[in-house]
Amino acid sequence: MVINDLAGQRMYYVLHCLLLTVALTQYVVAVSLEHDLDTALTDEEDQVFGMTHGENLDFWLSSIFGRAPSARIVVVCTKLDLVDEETKERRLDALWASFEGKVYQERIATVVCVSSKQGTGVEEVRSESSRAASSLSSKHP
């Protein structure tokens, strides 16, 4: 298994285009539970695009789909420890709703919530990635 951390900043987008492929590939896309999807990006590098967190997520999911339309995508919601249960559920509902009708909707394999501080959900991401990797490699000898 090879893992590439492609970062989410636009300045690295050219590299993403070089590495996005279909064969034996699964993508893990991270989005923070800390912000609603309709909240504007606050990172200085990304503010120039005038996008919300949801529009940014759609950009990256569409980019993956455009280069690797049959690739499997796992969405990882980070910073679980920064939100209460009600906020988590509301933001997950909004996330799933944001996928509806999109070209990549059927490529979203699962959504996993994680807390790096507490370790919650990390094993689920590992398990999901390992399961997918063995499934993909059995299809491509």
CA dihedral of residues 28, 30, 33, 35 (deg, nearest 10)? -150
Per run of 10 residues, the mean pLDDT along the chain (length 141 residues) is 58 60 74 95 78 92 88 92 97 98 95 90 83 54 42
In this prediction, residue 57 carries a pLDDT of 94
CB 29 within 8 A of CB 57: yes
pTM equals 0.79
